[in-house]
Amino acid sequence: MSSRSVAGAVALITGAASGMGKATAEVFAAEGAHVAVTDLSAETSEPVVAAIRAAGGSAEAWPLDVSDPSAIEAVVAAVAQRFGRLDIVVNNAGISAFCPIDHPEYDTVWTRALGVLLTSHQRIIRAALPHLRKSDHPRIVNIASTEALGATSRDSPYSAAKAGVTGLTRALAVELGPEGITVNCICPGPILTGMTANVPDDDKQTYARRRTALRRYGRPEEVAHMTLSLCLPAASYITGVTIPVDGGLMARNA
At closest approach, how far in Å is the CB of 157 from ligand NAI? 12
Q: Which is nearer to ligand NAI, 138 or 188 (CB)?
A: 188
Residues that bind ligand NAI (CB under 6 A): 14-15, 17-21, 39-40, 64-67, 92-95, 116, 143, 145, 188, 190-191, 193-196
- H runs (alpha helix) in 42-178: 42-54, 69-83, 106-114, 120-132, 156-176
At closest approach, how far in Å is the CB of 195 from ligand NAI? 4
Q: Which is nearer to ligand NAI, 17 or 232 (CB)?
A: 17
Q: Closest Cα partner for 11 from 90, 74, 72? A: 90
The question of whether 158 is a catalytic residue gets the answer yes
Would the CA dihedral through 227, 233, 234, 235 be positive or negative?
positive
At closest approach, how far in Å is the CB of 26 from ligand NAI? 13
Q: Are 68 and 90 in contact (CB under 8 A)?
A: no
What value, to the nearest 5°, has the Cα angle with vertex 133 and ends 185 and 187?
A: 5
Q: Which is nearer to ligand NAI, 17 or 36 (CB)?
A: 17
182-188 and 34-39 strand pairing? unpaired
At closest approach, how far in Å is the CB of 236 from ligand NAI? 25
Catalytic residue, from 106, 158, 217, 237: name it: 158
Q: Are 15 and 94 in contact (CB under 8 A)?
A: yes
Q: How many CB atoms lie within 10 A of CB 211?
A: 17
Q: What is the rounded distance in angstroms from the CA atom of residue 17 to the CA atom of residue 38?
A: 7
Q: Which is nearer to ligand NAI, 138 or 157 (CB)?
A: 157
Q: Which residues are catalytic?
A: 158
